[in-house]
Amino acid sequence: MMFIGGAYAPLFYFPLIRQIAKTGTNFPCVFVIMLGMETHVQVGGTELKVRIEKALTEKSLKKLITNLEKELDGEHSFLPYEVETQIRREIVNAGVAVSQHGGWYRCIAAYLLLPRIEGLLAIKSTSEEKNIAPIVQKLRNEALRESLSTFGLEVPARYARTSSGTGQTRVRISSEQKQQLVEKFLDALPTFEGLQDVLGTLPKNTNLMVKQIRTLVKRYLTIANRLQSVAAHE
């Protein structure tokens, strides 16, 4: 634990506090203390309802929730069907009026942000968007990591970074390793082509599982075609 402004905060928040200092923005001491207050998704009933609806009605969180909602409702959703179903069940059991708050994916987005919702609310009310963007991104990523971990899931790679421009260098692989990777990737081409044929016989308006498989097949075939095209020009 680290003693800050008359209160103790977890040590894992030290990098976040250091990032605040880099922005050159003066934040009140109470804000730093609030960041150390952990919140958890593992609540239910009235408490879960109150927290979700609070997040959904806060104007300062509207853009953040909307962006996450679009990813959940799009072709590249990172939530497996079973997990989404479980979260929907928890939201229903809590008594959240889904239709009054923008629909399922908006409510799920708010649910996933709950572990860091107090920190997000605090920082959103303290400064201009451009000054706090890295900190908001860090808190969002931490919230998603904690929420998804309760279902045994890892956070998607695009949410694993704490902020943009970290200065990390890319690790290069040898041409032999690259060739082996491409060959193994393309070994699955007949399977995905077979899946595409099966999907072609199904109606487009199907359940989420079929939608996710359709998206996966489409993405695989797009990458496979790109790899074959590059190989043909080498």
Q: What is the pLDDT of residues 174-196, one digit of tens each?
A: 788 888 888 999 999 999 999 99
23 pLDDT exceeds 80?
Answer: no
DSSP secondary structure of 49-117: HHHHHHHHH-GGGHHHHHHHHHHHHSTT--S-HHHHHHHHHHHHHHT--GGGGT-HHHHHHHHHHGGGH
Residue 204 identity: K
Tell me the β-bridge partners of 3.
8
Long-range residue pairs from 158-166, CB within 8 A, at least 24 positions apart, any chain: 161/137, 162/15, 162/134, 162/137, 162/138, 163/19, 163/134, 163/137, 163/138, 164/134, 164/137
pTM of the model: 0.53
Percent pLDDT > 90 in the chain is 35
Tell me how far apart the alpha carbons of residues 172 and 57 are, in angstroms, rounded to a whole number.
Answer: 46
Q: pLDDT value at position 5?
A: 40
* Joined tokens for residue 110: 């708010």
pLDDT 10s digits, 82-119: 999 999 999 999 999 999 999 999 999 999 999 999 98
pLDDT 10s digits, 60-86: 899 999 999 998 987 778 888 899 999
List the domain boundaries for the chain.
2-159, 175-232
Q: How far is CA 178 from CA 182, 184, 225, in A?
A: 6, 10, 16
95-133: b or e for each residue (b if 16 or more CB lie within 10 Å)?
ebebeebbebbbbbbbbbbbbbbbbbebbbeebeeeebe
Q: pLDDT value at position 39?
A: 39
Task: State the pLDDT confidence band at 46, using cuts at 50, 70 and 90.
Answer: confident
